[in-house]
Structure 1
Amino acid sequence: MKIGIHHRKGSFSDRWIEYLEQKKMPYVILNAFDNDIIKQIKENKVTHFMWHFNQNYFEDMLHAKTLFRSVNQIGIKTFPNEDAYWHFDDKVAQKYLLEALDIPLVKADVFYHQKEAEKYIENTSFPKVFKLKGGAGSINVKLVKTKEQARKLVKKAFGSGFDAFDSWTVFTDTIERFRRQKTAHNFLRVIKWGFKGIFVDKQYKVFPKQRNYVYFQEFIPDLTYDIRLIVIGNKCFYLKRNTRDNDFRASGSGMLEFVPGKFNLEAVNIAFKAARKLNMFCVAYDFIFNAEDQPLVVEISYGFQPYVYDQCVGFYDTDLNWNEARVNLEFEIIESFLNEFSLTY
C-alpha cells in the first residue's frame, strides 16, 4: 500500500500527512495538476490517492473528477470515490439522487425552460427558497417572498444569468458576523472577506455564469437552526448552526453549538442509512425539521471546513447512543479509507 496525496495547506491533507507520519506508512506528495500526473502515480506505485478538492477553486472543479475517474480505471482507490464526488456542490444533482434513493429531503422543484418555470410560479405559493447549484455558506441562497420576485429571478436565469459568487452576500455576512462576535480574528475576516466581497477574487471570476435553469426549494417557516451531521465510518458527529438575526439561513452564520441538545434522533438514523445507500463512508448532511419534527435533508457533501469540528465533543454510534470523545475528523477519514470501511450497518 502506498498513498498519494495532493496537498493544499489548510485542507484535510494537513492532518492526513500527520497521520501517515505517525503510523510510518509510505506516502508521496503529488501535484494533481501536473501534466504527467498519471505517469507519476504509476511510477510511484500509488495504490490510494487522496485529494480534498474544494468548490471554491475553479481548477479543482474542472479537473478533480476527471482525474479520479481515470485512476479508478487502473484500480487505484480514491478519496472521495465516484459515488461521493459526482454530485459534489451540485444541489440539483443531489435533488434527483436523494429522490431516487428515497432519502427524506426538503421538496425542491427544478425547471430548464422559462415557460415551465413561469407556469410553476403562477400555480404555487410563496415564499420559496431560490438557490443556485453551487456555493457554500448560503452565499447563493435567497428567500423569494412574492410571485413578482420569482418572475424577475426566472427572467434573469434564462437571460443574463447569475454570477457563481455572490460577492455582496459575502461582504454583508462578514460584517454581520463581526457585529455579533467582535474579536481580532473576526476583524481580520472582515478585512479579508470584505475585500473579496467588494473586489471579487479573480479565482471566482473564472466560474461560468449560472443560467438556463431555476431551482426553488420549499420554505419551512420559523426555523431557528439547522443540524450538521457528519457520518464517517460507524460514527456520526454533531453540530448545531443557529440562524442569523432576522434571517432564515443557518449555514455560514458562525453561530455554532457542539454539545447535542434535544432533537429528533431519527435524523442520526437517517444519516447512517443514507450513507449506506449513497455508498459514502464520509458524508456531511444539513438537516432541518418540519412542523411535525420530521428531519429533512437540505443537502449533502463529502467535504467540509477543516478544524471547525475539533470542537465537537463526541459522536453517535449506529445504535444512536452518544459517546463523549476527542474528535479529529481528518484522522477518522483516512483511517476509514485505508482500512476500507464497509458500510454494513
Structure 2
Amino acid sequence: MIAIHNSKSGFHPAWIVYCQEQGIPFKLVNCLDDDIIEQLKGFEALLWHHSHMVPKDLIAAKTILAALSHLGFPVFPDYRTNWHFDDKLAQKYLLESLELPLVKTFVFYDTEHALSWAKGTNFPMVHKLKTGSGSKHVQLVVNYNEARKIILKAFGKGFSNYSPYNSLKERVYQFKNGKAHWISLVKGLLRFVHYPEYATVQGKERGYVLFQEFVPNNPSDIRVIVIGNKAFAITRWVRKDDFRASGSGHFSHDPDMIPLSCVESAFKANQKLKGQCFAFDFVIDQQQNPRIIEVSYGFSPEVFRLCPGYWDKNLIWHDGRFIPEHWMIEILLKKVGVDKPF
C-alpha cells in the first residue's frame, strides 16, 4: 500500500484517481501529523507534492522527506529530486559541480566582494532571490549604481519574500490578459495590509546576493520536464516590454517550437542529477546552445494537459495525451518491485 498526502492541490488529485482506476491500494495521510513516521510503518511508499507557497510545507516537508530517505523508505520527491527545490543557491552549486550548462551565476556573502565584482562586471545582469517562482523576485540590473543599491540592501535590511506592490502589478497584468478575475485585484489590494503567511514564515532574505548573466534575444524560454525516460515541453513567451517568461501566462504546446537541443540537454542533465522528476527552464545563448536558468521538481500540471505527446530518451517523439503524475507513481512502484500497476 502507498501513502498519499491528503491534499486537493498539485499532483495529489491525479495520484488519487490513478490509484483508484488501477486498483492500487493507497491511503490518504497527513504528513504534518506528529506521528507520521510511525503511521507510515507498513506502507511501501509516500507521495507528497509539497509547495513553497504553503507555510507548513515550507517548515516541515524537506525535513520529513529527508528523514524517510535515511530509512531507505521510497518517497516522491526523493532526496536527489527535492533538496535543492526553490533554492537558487543550492541549484548554482549543484549544477556547477555536475558541469551542467547553467547560465553563469554569481553569489557573494559580503558587501566588499560583491561591490568589487559589480565594479568590474558588464551589465545588464539579472538579480534574483534564492526563493520564488513565476518570475517573483527577478529584476534586470542595467548598471553599477543599480547593482550597488541591491548589494547594500542585501547586506542591510534585506528583501522581503513578498512585495504587495509587485504582486498587485502582476495581478493587473494577468487581469488585462484575461488570465485573472477582478476579484484577484481586490485580493491584491488587501495584501498591502495582510501579507501571505508563507512570506511571514520565510522572513527576509539577507546576507547574500545573487546575480545571473542576462542572455539577450530570447523571445521565450523553454520548459522541459523529464520524468524517468520521458520528456515533454512548452514554449513560454516573455511578457510585453519585459524579459521574463515564467508566469507570463502565454505559452505554446507545439513541439515544433521546441529546440531538440533543449530536450537532449534535459535528458543529459537528468542522468547526472539522478532524480525522479525535473523541470528545466532553458534559454538559448548567442552560440545557439541551451543554457539552464533554473530547475525544479514541481510544476503546475494543468499547464501541460494539452501537450500532444512526449519524447523518449532516444529523442523519438510519441504522439498522444498523457498525465505525467501517473509516471511519477509508476517510478515509485518500480522502486518497491512492482513493474506494472496492480
Cα distance in structure 2, aligned partners of 1:191 and 1:331:
37
Change in 2 beyond 3 A, CA 1:106/1:313: same
- Does the 8 Å CA contact 2:221/2:245 hold for their aligned counterparts? yes
Cα distance in structure 1, aligned partners of 2:227 and 2:3:
21
| Amino acid corresponding to residue 316 of structure 1 in structure 2 | W
1:64-213 paired onto structure 2 within 5 Å = 64-181=61-178, 186-193=181-188, 195-196=190-191, 199-213=194-208
Gap regions ≥5 residues in structure 1: none
What's 2:340 paired with? none
> Secondary structure of 2:283's match?
strand
> Secondary structure of 1:135's match?
coil
What's 2:35 paired with? 36
Cα distance in structure 1, aligned partners of 2:329 and 2:213:
36
> Secondary structure of 2:225's match?
strand
| Amino acid corresponding to residue 34 of structure 1 in structure 2 | D
Change in 2 beyond 3 A, CA 1:194/1:220: farther
Provide, for residues 175-225 of structure 1, a one-character-per-residue CA deviation record: whole Å limited to 9, x for no partner: 1122122x6x54444444554466422332221210010000001122210
What's 2:320 paired with? 325
- Does the 8 Å CA contact 2:74/2:335 hold for their aligned counterparts? no
Cα distance in structure 2, aligned partners of 1:316 and 1:166:
39
- Does the 8 Å CA contact 1:171/1:198 hold for their aligned counterparts? no
What's 1:60 paired with? 57
| Amino acid corresponding to residue 52 of structure 1 in structure 2 | H
- Post-superposition offset of 1:80: 0.5
- Does the 8 Å CA contact 1:68/1:78 hold for their aligned counterparts? yes
Change in 2 beyond 3 A, CA 1:35/1:238: same
Cα distance in structure 2, aligned partners of 1:293 and 1:197:
43
Cα distance in structure 2, aligned partners of 1:294 and 1:270:
9
Q: Structure 1 length normalisation: TM-score?
A: 0.93
- Does the 8 Å CA contact 2:164/2:188 hold for their aligned counterparts? no
Provide, for residues 31-50 of structure 1, a one-character-per-residue CA deviation record: whole Å limited to 9, x for no partner: 111111112112xx111011
- Post-superposition offset of 1:156: 0.4
- Post-superposition offset of 1:173: 1.4
Provide, for residues 31-76 of structure 1, a one-character-per-residue CA deviation record: whole Å limited to 9, x for no partner: 111111112112xx11101110001123212211111122223331
Q: Which has the higher contact order (CA 8 A, sep 6+)?
A: 2
Change in 2 beyond 3 A, CA 1:221/1:14: same
Change in 2 beyond 3 A, CA 1:73/1:230: same
> Secondary structure of 2:280's match?
strand
Cα distance in structure 1, aligned partners of 2:126 and 2:153:
16
Cα distance in structure 2, aligned partners of 1:186 and 1:327:
29
What's 1:10 paired with? 9
Cα distance in structure 1, aligned partners of 2:336 and 2:273:
14
Identity of aligned residues (%): 39
